[in-house]
Structure 1
Amino acid sequence: MCRLSNNLTGLFNLLTLLLSIPILITSIWLTKQSSTQCETWLQKPIIILSIFLIILSLCGFIGSCCGATWLLWLYLFVMYLLIVITFAFTVFVFVVTNKGAGEVVSNRGYKEYRLGDYSNWLQKRVNENETWERIRSCIQSGKLCEKFQTQFGNDTVQQFYQENLSALQSGCCKPSNDCNFTYHSPTVWNKTEGVVHSNPDCNVWDNDPNVLCFNCQSCKAGLLQNLKTDWKKVSIINIIFLIFLVIVYSIGCCAFRNNRARGWK
């Protein structure tokens, strides 16, 4: 195994390098083509990750195949940090996404979402004004509620109540069920004058297509529900990735010992 370790480490890093280059080029091209700041913001992490993988792959490839032991040592050190960070992030995701779920409402096909049901850390993030302004801009630029209105615009009130809405649709594009507003269309609801609502979202709701419930706590909760679902999927991928990293790291350690045994520096 140790005799093959240098070749295996070199091959793995060559493949990673060949995959990272087109990803980097595509990400840069998409950033140039982006029509909104939101799209550009989403592309930046991919660009940074691609550059990181290219540099790391070069260190591993040169270190294992060209006898540059110091580069292989640097590669293994970064790999070790990556393993620790991936493990810590996976644990963190499980902790912060443990709380929170949609609330089933009687005679409704959709669920309602409450911000207070989610972890304090997630609540704090979406309650930061600058962060929420950016997120809200992304949701609006994606025309979430325009598509929502088009999709369910012909529904009667009873038909609408039986629809299986997404967390964002339920939280951002319609008022809370607590408000008891009169249905006119999926994004137009008539308020009852003089009624005091216990749910503050009822006072925030506006039929203006640019306002709706984008400033509601339920909209933030809908986003967190989406985030929770996505992060749970990421956690499973992270566990597989972590196992893969440990295997590659072990092979790299073998290659490092080979280099030292051959007297390479």
Structure 2
Amino acid sequence: MGVANYITAVLNFVAFLCSIAVIASGIWLSQKPDNVCIHVFRWPVIVLGFLILLVSLAGFVGACCYNKNLLAFYLCCMAILIALFLILLVFAFVVTRPDGSYDVPGRGYKEYRLDGYSSWLRNRILGSKNWNKITACLADTDVCPKLTQQQYMTVDQFFAAHLSPLQASSCSGF
């Protein structure tokens, strides 16, 4: 087996092992108590793990046996996966780039306004159906209870506290 095929086989074997970890984490998510956050992510994680498993298995077998058809399938699938990941990355960057924050004098945190975010994200959040899912997801986390456990003797202490954007903008309704 040539050096290029050996490297391809080793890299695909590592990807194969990583895909097993991704599938296991998807199965672990499916065993968790059902809530909105987990419901959104469990099946895409399992499907992504199986896709990576199949592509890496095709690359591994194709490299070990020098099967040109499997290597061609592997290269096409890998090119498609890389293109999809790049599109997702660019989309996420464009949607989340404007963060809607502005500094407020005398406060340790920034204020956030929905007008500062991208129009696509604003339209997704403004619908009551989506906002109910978001608040249900936040209610299941420990972000807001941690904020209420902290003791602020005065309003000035609260305003001077360094809060995360999530705590500063979303926890006031809990």
Partners of 2:91 and 2:39 lie apart in 1 by: 27
Structure 1 segments unaligned to the other structure (5+ residues): 175-211, 214-265
Give 1:140 shift.
Answer: 0.9
Structure showing greater Rg:
1
Give 1:122 shift.
Answer: 1.1
> Who is 1:166 aligned against?
164
Q: Give the 3 Å change call, closer, same or farther, for CA 18–145 of structure 1 in structure 2.
A: closer
Q: Give the 3 Å change call, closer, same or farther, for CA 50–63 of structure 1 in structure 2.
A: same
Partners of 1:11 and 1:63 lie apart in 2 by: 12
The C-alpha deviation readout for 1:139-159, integer Å capped at 9, x for no partner, is 0111432221112x3431221
> Who is 1:113 aligned against?
112
Matches within 5 A, 1:10-25: 10-25=9-24
Q: TM-score, normalised by structure 1?
A: 0.59
Matches within 5 A, 1:65-104: 65-104=64-103
Higher relative contact order (CA 8 A, sep 6+): 1
Matches within 5 A, 1:53-202: 53-151=52-150, 153-174=151-172
Q: TM-score, normalised by structure 2?
A: 0.87
Q: Indicate the SS of the match to 2:76.
A: helix
Q: Give the 3 Å change call, closer, same or farther, for CA 161–26 of structure 1 in structure 2.
A: closer
Contact persistence 1:34–1:40 (CA under 8 A):
no
The C-alpha deviation readout for 1:55-111, integer Å capped at 9, x for no partner, is 111111111212332221111111111232233333333332332341111221111
- Which is helix-richer, 1 or 2? 2
The C-alpha deviation readout for 1:227-252, integer Å capped at 9, x for no partner, is xxxxxxxxxxxxxxxxxxxxxxxxxx
Matches within 5 A, 1:199-210: none
Give 1:163 shift.
Answer: 0.8
The alignment-based identity, stated in percent, is 36
Contact persistence 2:100–2:114 (CA under 8 A):
no
Contact persistence 1:24–1:51 (CA under 8 A):
yes
Structure 2 segments unaligned to the other structure (5+ residues): none
